[in-house]
Amino acid sequence: MTGHDLRIAGLIAALVVALGLALGYGAGLLVARRGDLPGAPAQSPAGFTAPQAETLPNPAGGSLPGYLDVYVNDYADLLDAGAETRIRDDLIGLYDRTGIEMTVLTIPSLSDYGHYGPIEPFATALFNAWGIGNAARNDGVLVLVSRYDRNMRIEIGSGYDPSWDARMQRVIDDGFLPDFRDDAYQAGIETGVDETIYEITGHYPGTYDAGTFAQGWGWIFRQLGALGNWLWGLVAAPLAAGGFWLRRYLRRRPRPCPECGTLMQRMGEEADDEHLDGGQTLEEFLKSVDYDVWACPNCAHMDILRYRNWFSGYGACPKCNYHTLSTTTEVLRAATTSSTGQRRLTYDCKHCGYHDTELRTIPKVSKSSSGSSRSSFGGGSSSGGGASGRW
Ligand SMILES: [Zn+2]
Ligand SMILES: [Zn+2]
């Protein structure tokens, strides 16, 4: 690549990124603020049955939900099993890394517990009845979502100073409510929990050990992800088109002959095949590698350039070295939590007939990490700090 090529490539890449970001950002601004939707009745529909723990008495009157689990109690049934597992893993990770007990509770409505006023005193009473957080640090966090009240609260332990209320408000407004307004509760809870963890620790779940650069990109991708899938299309389409354009430009650009300096000419696909050997022709046929043949019109110098298809299912053959090796996997015995499993890999080269099989051990299915064995809270208390939001 010459310096000129590099400059053009850089310019194209910068334009494409700028265009993609501008489109995504502009569209994001357009949809970011929607008016409040009219609230649904604060009564749960009849026949609502999600598994519930025994209720606890509320010192202020009525009752409080009990808990079956210290991480997620989805009594309003807003989360599917996969989301519940992801959120639980994030909260276990938070506890394992920081000792902070954070818990998510969804309920159909406050009236199910004989509570008809604002959500705040209910959340404080619940926080203290459960004893969320370390009893000395009072660093617990409760996320309470009341579906049919269209109301939520993040209640935080008394160890957080009052400046944390505004930070929790930001998390509610930007993390939870945008999806809640579309009745996308699962998406809202997943985003909101991640944002809460980020606000508290400065790290998104699973990035506690990442460097600044990785964290920065993680943040950018999360912001883009929050724009919604169709907006991703607006960002991704010009990126993909630009990538294709750039690759095509670099591949097709005229190049001087290394012998005499005359500009060489690229030969067509049929002409290519005359100059490729059997293995190379098979690679082109299997689409694992693409070849361009360039010929000098002046001195007959010829270059064969090789472009690997990174998405091809064919690997390199250890015998003939062409990318004509297929691999198939067969599970002979599935792994369980108590025993390892076994799978067989079969390699076949379409070019030279090389054949091999290999047995591999599948590791035991791991049980969740240490934090998951916790079965009760640490005895923390709240004096009413946190933030609330309606949608
Ligand atoms: Zn030449
Ligand atoms: Zn081979």
pLDDT tier, 237 (very low <50, low <70, confident <90, very high otherwise): confident
| Confidence bin at 193 (pLDDT 50/70/90) | very high
How far, rounded to the nearest angstrom, does the alpha carbon of residue 266 sit from its chain's CA centroid?
42
Domain count, the chain: 4
Question: Is 372 part of any domain?
Answer: no
Rounded to whole angstroms, the Cα distance separating 41 from 140 reads 31
CA distances from 286 to 279, 289, 295, 323, 352 (A): 10, 8, 25, 9, 14
Ligand nearest to the CA of 303: 1
Per-residue pLDDT at 366 exceeds 70 = no
Range 292-316 average pLDDT: 89
Question: Going along the chain, which residue ranges are E strands?
Answer: 56-57, 63-64, 72-74, 102-107, 141-146, 151-156, 265-266, 289-295, 302-308, 325-333, 341-349, 355-362, 385-390
pLDDT per position as a tens digit, 72-108: 999 999 999 999 999 999 999 889 888 899 999 999 9
Which strand (E) or helix (H) includes residue 204?
Answer: none
Selection from 320, 237, 322, 239 nearest residue 284 by Cα:
322
| Same domain (yes/no): 94, 73 | yes
- Shared domain check, 127 and 51: yes
Residue 35 clears pLDDT 50, i.e. is over it = no
Tens-place pLDDT, residues 153-186: 999 999 998 999 999 999 999 999 999 999 999 9
The alpha carbon of 254 and the centre of ligand 1 are apart by a number of angstroms equal to 13
Average pLDDT, the chain: 85
Distance 349 CA to ligand 2 centre (A): 5
Q: Report how far ligand 1's centroid is from the alpha carbon of 123 (Å).
A: 80
More confident residue, 35 or 150: 150
Ligand number nearest CA of 256 is 1
Cα–Cα dist 171/195, whole Å: 6
Q: Which ligand is nearest to the CA of 352?
A: 2
Higher pLDDT pick, 299 / 215: 299
The verdict on 167 and 45 lying in the same domain is: yes
Q: Which pLDDT does position 225 carry in this prediction?
A: 65
Q: Which of 155, 139, 143 is nearest to 200 (CA)?
A: 139
Q: Which of residues 229 and 247 earns the better pLDDT score?
A: 247
CA of 265 to the centre of ligand 1 (A): 10
DSSP per position, 355-369: EEEEEEEEPPPPPP-
Count of beta carbons in the 10 Å neighbourhood of residue 151 = 23
Domain presence at residue 218:
yes
> What average pLDDT does this structure show over 124-128?
96
Instruction: Identify whether residues 49 and 155 lie together within a single domain.
Output: yes
Give percent of the chain with pLDDT exceeding 70: 85
Given 202, 237, 272, the domain boundary residue is: 202
CATH number for 317: 2.20.25.420
Task: Find the domain containing 7 and state its range.
Answer: 1-33+210-253
The predicted-structure confidence for 320-352, as pLDDT tens digits, reads as follows 999 999 999 899 988 887 888 899 999 999 999
248-302 pLDDT tens trace: 888 888 889 999 999 999 888 777 778 899 999 999 999 999 999 999 999 989 9
CA of 289 to the centre of ligand 2 (A): 14
Instruction: Please check whether residue 279 is in contact with residue 285, taking contact to mean a CB–CB distance below 8 angstroms.
Output: no
- pLDDT (0 to 100) of residue 249: 87
**Does residue 368 form part of some domain?**
no
Q: How far is the CA of 292 from the centre of ligand 1 (A)?
A: 17
How far is Cα of residue 1 from the mean position of the Cα atoms in its chain?
36
94 and 223 share one domain = no
Q: Give yes or no: residues 65 and 183 share one domain.
A: yes
- Regarding whether 283 and 148 lie in a shared domain, the answer is no
pLDDT of amino acid 384: 94
Ligand 2 geometric centre to CA of 323 (Å): 8
- Determine the distance separating the centroid of ligand 2 and the alpha carbon of 106, expressed in angstroms: 58
In a domain, 301, yes or no: yes
> Distance from the CA of 292 to the center of ligand 2, in angstroms?
22
DSSP 173: I
Question: Nearest ligand to the C-alpha of residue 317?
Answer: 2
**383 belongs to a structural domain:** no
Asked whether residue 374 carries a pLDDT value surpassing 70, the answer given is yes
In a domain, 373, yes or no: no
Q: Which ligand is the nearest neighbour of the Cα of 261?
A: 1
